[in-house]
Amino acid sequence: MKSRHVLTLSVVVSCCAFLAGQSASGSASRQQFLQRLVNAAIERTNHSVRYDSAYVRIPYPGGDVPPDIGVCTDEIIRSYRAVGVDLQKEVHEDMEQNFSAYPRKWRWILARPDSNIDHRRVPNLMAFFQRKGESLPISSSTEAYRPGDLVTYDLGGGVPHIGIVVDRKGGGGRYMVVHNIGQGPRMEDVLFKWRITGHYQYYGPQQ
């Protein structure tokens, strides 16, 4: 009996060690992904982009508006595409299967998903990140926001905005945000400049 208990304990310890190793490996993989995403977002600040929110028909999957135009969501989309994640495809597929889970604002009431534009709308990205990523607490603490986090805002009057927190700090010791609010992709110390409406991490499918 004693040897049986010892064997059982050995199996339990081995399983716990295996699971701990798997957890550590998964955590490291996620951190590597977020670092690649941060690097891609910072690289976007080297591009000249004219702010243009016009509806544009684009290929699917892997479609994009012309590289010299875009809005805040396009910086998120292009940063993720640089690390191998096609948000156009991921959002469209989820909306096809779960259309009722996404907001239907009066400005774009639709009968079905539209792969040309759905992923380029902040409210849709918020719903997608809530469903497929991790929703993190909204906080007034600088320490709550880490590189690779996605932050959404209300600019006033219900106008939505989105940016990516990166690993460079501004004068106040806060991590800066890469976003496009009208002057093309920029890295700025604007983490708490507007009212935060969402805080997420998204590692792509099957991460």
Cis-peptide, bond into residue 59, ω within 30° of zero: no
pLDDT digits (tens, 9 = 90+) for 36-80: 999 999 999 999 999 999 999 999 999 999 999 999 999 999 999
Residue 27 has pLDDT above 80, yes or no: yes
Question: Whole-model pTM?
Answer: 0.87
User: In sequence order, what are the residues at sequence separation of 6 or more whose Cβ sits closer than 8 angstroms to the Cβ of residue 137?
Assistant: 144, 199
Arithmetic mean of pLDDT, 18-39: 79
User: DSSP characters for 122-169?
Assistant: HHHHHHHHHHHSEE----S-GGG--TT-EEEEE-STT-EEEEEEEEEE
Domain ranges of the chain: 35-201
- Please, which pLDDT band fits residue 144 given cuts at 50, 70 and 90? very high
Please check whether residue 161 is in contact with residue 155, taking contact to mean a CB–CB distance below 8 angstroms: yes
Residue 134 has pLDDT above 60, yes or no: yes
Q: Which CATH number fits domain 35-201: 2.30.30.60, 3.90.1720.10, 3.40.640.10, 3.30.2270.10?
A: 3.90.1720.10
